[in-house]
């Protein structure tokens, strides 16, 4: 019984205290009351805010994302009531619109309304695509981003459905995308065949721009090369054409035109020559001049860092059979020629002839001259070459002939 008394006492105390604490009342009577009940509007419709207030010269300050403006009240219909018509551009921009009713620098009331995009009139499906060129195979992709807006350029609310159409060769596919946080997007993956993928979005009668994705071949795989030449002579005159097989990726797509192919030639003397060409329909060609002496070449083609060919070997034969030469001892003159090729034709003008002069004192000198009508003349002046026994070695296009024990008087 005692215990109960204590409980009752405590309970009464608590109750007493509970009722004595005064709830925080609005001490100041708000100077204005919003009469308009609607707080969500559709962009483009007229927005009117009415207030019950005694302040007849009050103004309404309105702000949205892009700026702030002041609106004056419309003609008052009744005393104690003010009406504001929110005009363009505020009434057609979606988003939150903050307003503050003021009079003489004092805030009477502030609040916010919301404007929604006009989903009934989607007027634009802005689309962005990137990157535009992708590699075949399925791993690479292009991203298609859509920013749909209504007729006032307001972004559409979440969940708005957009139809995405994708076309490749003769097949088309459709997919429904939902707008999320103003946009919707889709990664369009590459096909295994190269070609073009077309994407476009639409909703009802509004369509986006048609976007094209170019699917190019993926990385080239190793290939073969071959050569073609008018003859096999080392005449420093004709051209050998080097040619690749059709270069393809691992999905059998021909590599894009203008893929650069470098042909690297290693000669049997160890020199390295290089020529290059760009592919057309997967085939690259390059040309190179025949060597000036019989040689054997090993050719390998490279697409740098990506692919290479199997090496091939090309041999060049000598282009001259014999070298007629006549030593005129009285004039100290060496007549070389007529120099004729394998078909007995005169060698082209300017073919280089080398003369190597050596004597017993191992003095060696080299002279080069170019042919004129198949002939070259070397004059060995006494001032340079004192009397004695010399050996003369004549070389043309890698072929040489030696005149031993020539006595210069």
CA 288 from chain centre, in angstroms, equals 32
CA distance 20 to 360: 136
Q: Nearer Cβ to other proteins, position 145 or 202?
A: 145
Q: Nearer Cβ to other proteins, position 147 or 397?
A: 147
User: CA distances (Å), 182 to each of 83, 131, 148, 150, in order?
Assistant: 33, 21, 8, 12
- In angstroms, what is the minimal distance from the CB of 113 to other proteins? 11
Secondary structure class of 90 (helix, strand, coil): helix
Q: Exactly one of 130, 338, 386, 388 binds other proteins (CB under 8 A); which one?
A: 130
Please give the full DSSP string across 139-205, using - where no structure is assigned: S-EEEEEEEEEETTSPBPPTT-EEEEEEEETTEEEEEEEE-BTTBEEEEEEPPSS-EEEEEEEEETT
Q: Exactly one of 45, 98, 123, 278 binds other proteins (CB under 8 A); which one?
A: 98
Counting contacts by CB under 8 A, is residue 74 touching other proteins? no
Q: Exactly one of 131, 138, 230, 388 binds other proteins (CB under 8 A); which one?
A: 131
**Which region among 47-55, 96-104, 245-253, 279-287 touches other proteins (by CB under 8 A)?**
96-104
- In angstroms, what is the minimal distance from the CB of 89 to other proteins? 4
- In angstroms, what is the minimal distance from the CB of 175 to other proteins? 17
**Which region among 23-31, 98-106, 227-235, 318-326 touches other proteins (by CB under 8 A)?**
98-106
Using CB atoms within 10 A of its CB, is residue 96 exposed (0-12), middle (13-18) or buried (19+)? exposed
Q: Nearer Cβ to other proteins, position 59 or 308?
A: 59
Sheet holding 40-42, edge to edge: 40-42, 106-116, 95-103, 59-64, 67-72
Q: Nearer Cβ to other proteins, position 156 or 323?
A: 156
Counting contacts by CB under 8 A, is residue 88 touching other proteins? yes
Three-class SS string for 2-27?
HHHHHHHHHHHHHHHHHHHCCCCCCC
Q: Exactly one of 24, 181, 304, 330 binds other proteins (CB under 8 A); which one?
A: 181
List of residues contacting other proteins (CB under 8 A): 59, 61, 63-70, 87-90, 93-98, 100, 102, 105, 107, 114, 128-131, 141-143, 145, 147, 153-155, 181-183, 185, 187
């Amino acid at each position: 019984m005692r215990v109960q008394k204590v409980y009752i006492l405590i309970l009464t105390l608590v109750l007493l205290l509970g009722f004595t604490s005064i709830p925080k009342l609005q001490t100041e009577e708000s100077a204005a009351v919003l009469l308009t009940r609607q707080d969500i509007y559709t962009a483009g419709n007229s927005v009117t805010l009415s207030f019950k207030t005694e302040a007849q010269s009050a103004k309404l300050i309105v702000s949205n994302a892009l700026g702030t403006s002041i609106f004056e009240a419309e003609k008052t219909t009744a005393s104690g009531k003010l009406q504001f018509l929110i005009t363009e551009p505020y009434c057609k921009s979606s988003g939150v619109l903050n307003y503050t009713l003021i009079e003489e620098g004092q805030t009477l009331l502030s609040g916010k309304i919301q404007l929604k995009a006009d989903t009934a009139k989607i007027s634009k499906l802005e689309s962005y695509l990137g990157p535009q060129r992708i590699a075949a195979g399925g791993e690479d992709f292009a991203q298609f981003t859509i920013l749909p807006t209504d007729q006032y350029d307001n972004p559409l609310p979440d969940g708005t459905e957009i139809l995405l159409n994708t076309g490749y060769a003769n097949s088309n596919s459709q997919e429904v995308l939902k707008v999320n946080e103003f946009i919707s997007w889709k990664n369009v993956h590459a096909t295994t065949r190269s070609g073009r993928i077309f994407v476009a979005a639409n909703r009802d009668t509004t369509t986006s721009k048609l976007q094209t994705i170019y699917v190019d071949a993926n990385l080239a795989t190793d290939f073969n090369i071959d050569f073609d030449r008018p003859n096999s002579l080392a005449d420093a005159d004709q051209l050998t054409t080097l040619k690749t097989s059709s270069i393809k990726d691992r999905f059998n797509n021909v590599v894009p035109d203008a893929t650069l192919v470098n042909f690297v030639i290693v000669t049997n003397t160890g020199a390295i020559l290089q020529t290059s060409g760009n592919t057309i329909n997967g085939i690259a060609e390059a040309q190179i001049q025949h060597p000036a002496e019989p040689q054997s070449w090993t050719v390998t083609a490279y697409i740098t860092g990506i692919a290479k060919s199997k090496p091939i070997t090309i041999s060049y034969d000598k282009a001259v059979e014999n070298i007629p030469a006549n030593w005129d001892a009285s004039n100290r003159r060496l007549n070389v020629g007529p120099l004729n090729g394998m078909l007995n034709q005169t060698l082209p003008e300017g073919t280089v002839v080398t003369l190597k002069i050596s004597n017993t004192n191992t003095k060696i000198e080299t002279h080069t001259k170019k042919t004129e009508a198949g002939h070259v003349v070397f004059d060995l002046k006494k001032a340079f070459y004192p009397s004695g026994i010399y050996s003369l070695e004549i070389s043309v296009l890698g072929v040489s002939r030696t005149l031993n024990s020539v006595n210069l008087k």
